[in-house]
Structure 1
Amino acid sequence: MKLIIIGGSLVLLLLLMFRKSFSGIIEGISIILFRLGLSVLLLFGMHLLLGLAGYTIPINLFTGAVVAVLGVPGVASVVAISILL
Structure 2
Amino acid sequence: MKLVIIVCSLLLLLFLMFRSSFSKVLESLPFFLFRLGFSFFLLFGVHLLLGLFGYQVPINLFTGAMVAVLGVPGVASVLAISILI
TM-score (norm 1): 0.72
Structure 1's 80 and 22: CA in aligned 2 closer, same or farther, altered over 3 A? closer
CA distance in 1: counterparts of 2:50 and 2:59, whole angstroms: 13
Q: Percent identity?
A: 69
SS at match of 2:68: helix
Give the equivalent residue in structure 2 for 1:33: 33
Does residue 83 (structure 1) correspond to residue 79 (structure 2)? The answer is no
Give the equivalent residue in structure 2 for 1:43: 43
State which drifts further: 30-39 or 20-29: 20-29
CA distance in 2: counterparts of 1:55 and 1:25, whole angstroms: 37
CA distance in 2: counterparts of 1:40 and 1:73, whole angstroms: 15
Kindly state the Cα deviation for residue 26 of structure 1 after the two structures are TM-superposed. 3.8
AA paired with 1:64? Answer: G
Kindly state the Cα deviation for residue 27 of structure 1 after the two structures are TM-superposed. 2.9
CA distance in 1: counterparts of 2:69 and 2:47, whole angstroms: 19
Please, which runs of 5 or more residues in structure 2 have no aligned partner?
Answer: none
- State the Cα deviation string for residues 38-59 of structure 1 (Å, max 9, x = none): 1110000000000000000000
AA paired with 2:44? Answer: F
Kindly state the Cα deviation for residue 21 of structure 1 after the two structures are TM-superposed. 7.8
CA distance in 1: counterparts of 2:24 and 2:82, whole angstroms: 37
Give the equivalent residue in structure 1 for 2:70: 70
CA distance in 2: counterparts of 1:22 and 1:79, whole angstroms: 34
TM-score (norm 2): 0.72
RMSD: 2.7
